[in-house]
């Protein structure tokens, strides 16, 4: 049984706060980036930005006082962190450049504050699949090269050594069974081929897991409460298909030609799949396992917190405290610690020191039909009801519901912004056709005025599209680094400056030729 319910219906309108940044005001200044929570409920950890640099800090839950802090050196990057049992805190730091890049695992005892360097590797990843216990924890070590491998390591608190539990070919993601035991691996080799493995009941030898032909190549996302496997399949043309493998039977749970899942709802202990969240297009969540008792909690929270996407990040073992991330359409993400008796609802971190609240701006989901008949989901952002100059952003990943500072920044400066995702799996010639189709779609619907549009896309896509564009659409083409929308004000500023300067130049040219400015 499935239940579809809307997570968000409208964008709240609020007064615009004064902005200090000349162009990239909606970006604000990032503060808290990520949070982790101890299962004992005693500590929580924050990754945050202070004075332009990242830092880690562990706080006492009761009074939020700082228990431990780590400031990376110049050139070091925080790759991951985790609060563990026995008052331990582990984190991974990346350092070096190019072929000399490595990642190092550190463990600190929060009572003595003694820091220990454990190991260094090409890359290290914490895993939620194998829970830490009172003696140690597991971590994944990625080995690069012509034949990449993933090693599952066991780090003992006393010895501090990383012992190898398993070696798997390729870059692997691990999944547990409903009981919390390591059960499956989904591995991709250097050629992009996918293979599935099943964990041994005894010993260290993993066995190949055979799946039906219709499932091969799909990403193994997790398991359901009854042990069925859950897969996500993404066709090259776009969209997604969600599959449930029950024995040898394959059930299609959901399919969209244009939308892709943004995240998956898991049980509060993070062991099994409850549902899927779609944030491209009209945002919604679909519950896929109504029999699980945690479903009722999600329903209660969704009703109580309107226009808000709630994600459970952690829960204390006694279920007294729950750490959540809350995302609204018009504001950056915030983190809160909830008490089960609802006496304490403490915000433990804000996502921007200078929060930006769009006043007259709207961001509406729209669906486009491209020349190959494929439907695409996108968003149109504008300030009020005005039809400003058109800006088309085609980027990877696809735009989703939530705070979109780059689109908001362009709208703040008079643009009507159309966002859509690039089908990165296709050739750049085909992506260029998508960009041209999106421009024509916006023109046909008269979403903006008739001034030349500004196009934002991967530089290779712009190069392919430029010769095919009519003259008035080629005056403003701005390359997105690696085809991604900028996420920091410093990255966005030169792009916004180029777009605004181009718009001002176009207005001056129009006034010179007609005697009146084009509004």
> Does residue 280 sit in helix, strand or coil?
coil
Q: Decide if pLDDT at 452 tops 90.
A: no
What percent of the chain has pLDDT above 70? 86
Per-position DSSP letters for 402-470, written without gaps between them: S--HHHHHHHHTTEEEEEEE--TTS-HHHHHHHHHHHHHHHHHTT-S-SSPPEEEE-HHHHHHHGGGS-
> In 10 A of CB 194, how many CB atoms?
15
**CATH annotation of 361-503:** 3.40.50.1820
Q: Which residue has the higher pLDDT, 357 or 45?
A: 45
* 145-170 pLDDT, tens digit each: 888 999 999 999 988 888 898 999 99
Separation CA 99–CA 120 (nearest Å)? 14
* 177-207 pLDDT, tens digit each: 998 889 999 999 988 899 999 999 877 789 9
46 contacts 32 by C-beta, under 8 angstroms: yes
118 contacts 160 by C-beta, under 8 angstroms: yes
In order of 42, 454, 465, the CA distances from 473 in angstroms are: 58, 7, 11
* 269-328 pLDDT, tens digit each: 888 999 988 877 777 778 888 888 888 888 888 777 777 778 888 888 888 888 888 877
Separation CA 329–CA 26 (nearest Å)? 13
Q: Which residue has the higher pLDDT, 38 or 24?
A: 38
Q: What percent helix, strand, coil does the chain show, rounded to 5?
A: 15, 45, 40
* 46-60 pLDDT, tens digit each: 998 877 788 999 999
Question: Domain spans of the chain?
Answer: 212-288, 361-503
Section 132-140 average pLDDT:
91
Whole-number pLDDT of residue 473: 57
61 contacts 35 by C-beta, under 8 angstroms: no
Whole-number pLDDT of residue 284: 78
Separation CA 329–CA 8 (nearest Å)? 8
Whole-number pLDDT of residue 155: 94
Section 200-229 average pLDDT:
92
Of 505, 233, 485, 263, nearest to 389 by C-alpha is: 505
């Amino acid at each position: 049984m499935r239940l579809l319910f809307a997570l968000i219906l409208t964008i709240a309108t609020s007064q615009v706060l004064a902005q200090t940044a000349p162009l990239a005001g909606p970006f604000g200044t990032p503060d808290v980036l990520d949070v982790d929570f101890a299962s004992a409920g005693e500590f929580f950890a924050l990754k945050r930005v202070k004075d332009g640099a990242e830092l880690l800090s562990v706080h006492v839950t009761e009074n939020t006082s700082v228990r431990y802090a780590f400031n990376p050196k110049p050139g070091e990057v925080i790759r991951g962190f985790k609060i563990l049992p026995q008052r331990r805190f582990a984190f991974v730091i990346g350092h070096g450049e190019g072929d000399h890049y490595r990642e190092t695992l550190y463990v600190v005892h929060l009572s003595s504050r003694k820091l220990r360097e454990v190991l260094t590797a090409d890359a290290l990843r914490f895993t939620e699949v194998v829970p830490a216990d009172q003696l140690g924890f597991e971590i994944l070590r990625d080995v690069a090269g012509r034949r990449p491998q993933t090693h599952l390591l066991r780090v003992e608190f006393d010895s501090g050594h990383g012992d190898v539990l398993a070696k798997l070919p390729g870059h692997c993601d691990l999944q547990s069974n409903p009981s919390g035991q390591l059960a499956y691996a989904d591995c991709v080799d250097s050629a992009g081929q996918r293979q599935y493995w099943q964990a041994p009941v005894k010993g260290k030898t993993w066995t190949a897991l055979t799946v039906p032909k219709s499932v091969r190549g799909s990403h193994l996302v997790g398991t359901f409460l009854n042990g069925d496997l859950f897969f996500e399949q993404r066709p090259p043309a776009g969209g997604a298909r969600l599959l449930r493998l029950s024995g040898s039977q394959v059930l299609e749970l959901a399919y969209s030609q244009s939308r892709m899942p943004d995240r998956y709802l898991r049980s509060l202990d993070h062991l099994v799949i409850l549902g899927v969240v779609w944030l491209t297009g009209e945002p919604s969540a679909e519950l896929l396992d109504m029999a699980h008792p945690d479903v009722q909690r999600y329903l209660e929270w969704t009703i109580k917190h309107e226009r808000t996407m709630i994600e459970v990040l952690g829960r204390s073992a006694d279920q007294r405290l729950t750490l959540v991330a809350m995302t609204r359409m018009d504001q950056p993400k915030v983190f809160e610690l909830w008490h089960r008796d609802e006496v304490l609802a403490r915000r433990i971190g804000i996502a921007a020191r200078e929060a930006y609240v769009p006043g007259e701006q709207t961001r509406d989901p729209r669906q486009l039909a491209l020349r190959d008949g494929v439907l695409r989901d996108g968003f149109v952002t504008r300030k009020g009801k005005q039809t400003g100059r058109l800006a088309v952003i085609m980027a990877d990943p696809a735009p989703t519901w939530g705070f979109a500072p780059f689109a908001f920044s362009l709208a703040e400066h008079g643009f009507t912004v159309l966002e859509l995702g690039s089908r990165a799996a296709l050739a750049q010639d085909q992506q260029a056709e998508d960009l041209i189709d999106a421009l024509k779609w916006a023109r046909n619907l008269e979403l903006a005025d008739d001034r030349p549009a500004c196009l934002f896309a991967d530089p290779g896509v712009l190069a392919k599209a430029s010769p095919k564009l009519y003259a008035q659409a080629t005056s403003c083409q701005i390359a997105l680094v690696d085809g991604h929308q900028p996420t920091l004000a410093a990255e966005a500023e030169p792009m916004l400056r180029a777009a605004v300067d181009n718009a001002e130049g176009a207005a001056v040219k129009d006034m010179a030729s007609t005697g009146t400015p084009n509004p």
